[in-house]
């Protein structure tokens, strides 16, 4: 499925008001000149949502955790204590270190991580995954789509982590493994001020997106009385 065909199907399924997803992937070159982002880099992704591409790098990301979870750096020594003792997201620093190790992240082999809205690209080449900013109604559709052809208990998962880990790290690792899991994220209180109060993230690794597009038009999104009522509310 090409990009334009996907957008057409997506609009038909979710309605004209549903925001298009951001595609993200690593590259040797940036697709935009992005100023340094202090703190959480999600505040900078607003530009990508508006249609202006964003290129992240070690120079652009101002947060040590953001550099870690995008694969641009190793874990800074201060992270386990900061996450546990300051942010109080894990009981002990050792638990934080175990969590990061368990993600099985690899260092990025390219210097830029580009985010671009789906209607601003010509192909899916080089894409690691798709990031949807989704309301509960939209999540109903996205989760149902992911469950349609997959009976595995982890077809959609919600795991502990920062916004950047649940969106980028987990999706990239899953894609590298050719995996099938989709991820709910943006539960982290630290990222919440930079997204809508009624929004969570839903990420699809490209390895899974390929199979999901094959059955998209067969599922309830295109021929379901119940979904038509939800879609109508989304378009109000």
Per residue in 27-65, pLDDT (tens digit) is 999 999 999 999 999 999 999 999 999 999 999 999 999
Question: In the prediction, which pLDDT does 150 show?
Answer: 97
* 167 has a pLDDT exceeding 90: yes
For residue 215, what pLDDT band results from cuts at 50, 70 and 90? Answer: very high
Q: How far apart, in whole angstroms, are the C-alpha atoms of residue 89 and residue 204?
A: 25
* Residue 168 DSSP class: I
Rounded to an integer, the average pLDDT of 69-85 is 94
Question: Bridge-partner residues for 55, per DSSP?
Answer: 114
3 state SS of 106: coil
Rounded to an integer, the average pLDDT of 119-129 is 96
Residue whose tokens read 């949502």:
49
Question: In the prediction, which pLDDT does 26 show?
Answer: 98
Question: In the prediction, which pLDDT does 56 show?
Answer: 98
Mean per-residue pLDDT over the chain, rounded: 96
CA distance to 24, 84, 93, 129, 176, per residue, from 126 (Å)? 8, 35, 35, 9, 12
Question: In the prediction, which pLDDT does 127 show?
Answer: 97
Give the burial class of 29: count Cβ atoms within 10 A of its Cβ; 0-12 exposed, 13-18 middle, 19 or more buried: exposed
Question: Bridge-partner residues for 199, per DSSP?
Answer: none
Question: In the prediction, which pLDDT does 76 show?
Answer: 87
Per residue in 87-105, pLDDT (tens digit) is 999 999 999 999 999 999 9
Per residue in 147-166, pLDDT (tens digit) is 999 999 999 999 999 999 99
Question: In the prediction, which pLDDT does 106 show?
Answer: 95
Rounded to an integer, the average pLDDT of 105-132 is 97
Which residues, in sequence order, are CB contacts of 201 under 8 Å at separation 6+? 131, 132, 133, 134, 163, 166, 167, 183, 184, 185, 186, 195
Is-contact 137 230, C-beta < 8 A? yes
Question: In the prediction, which pLDDT does 1 show?
Answer: 78
130 CB neighbour count, 10 Å cutoff: 23
Question: In the prediction, which pLDDT does 46 show?
Answer: 96
Question: In the prediction, which pLDDT does 102 show?
Answer: 95
């Amino acid at each position: 499925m090409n990009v334009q065909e996907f957008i057409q199907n997506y609009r038909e399924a979710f309605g004209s008001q549903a925001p298009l997803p951001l595609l993200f992937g690593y590259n040797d070159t940036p697709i935009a000149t992005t100023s340094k982002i202090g703190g959480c880099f999600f505040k900078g992704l607003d530009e990508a949502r508006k249609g202006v591409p964003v290129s992240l790098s070690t120079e652009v990301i101002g947060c040590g955790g953001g550099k870690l979870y995008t694969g641009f750096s190793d874990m800074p020594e201060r992270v386990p204590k900061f996450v546990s003792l300051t942010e109080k997201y894990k009981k002990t620093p050792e638990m934080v270190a175990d969590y990061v190790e368990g993600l099985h992240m690899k260092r990025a082999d390219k210097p830029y991580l580009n985010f671009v809205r789906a209607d601003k690209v010509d192909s899916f080449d080089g894409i690691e995954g798709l990031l949807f900013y989704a309301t509960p109604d939209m999540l109903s559709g996205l989760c149902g789509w992911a469950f349609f052809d997959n009976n595995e208990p982890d077809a959609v998962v919600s795991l502990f982590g920062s916004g950047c880990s649940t969106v980028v790290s987990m999706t990239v690792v899953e894609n590298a493994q050719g995996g099938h899991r989709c991820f709910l994220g943006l539960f982290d209180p630290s990222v919440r001020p930079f997204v809508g109060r009624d929004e969570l993230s839903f990420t699809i690794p490209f390895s899974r997106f390929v199979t999901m597009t094959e059955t998209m038009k067969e599922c309830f999104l295109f021929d379901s009385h119940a979904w038509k009522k939800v879609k109508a509310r989304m378009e109000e």
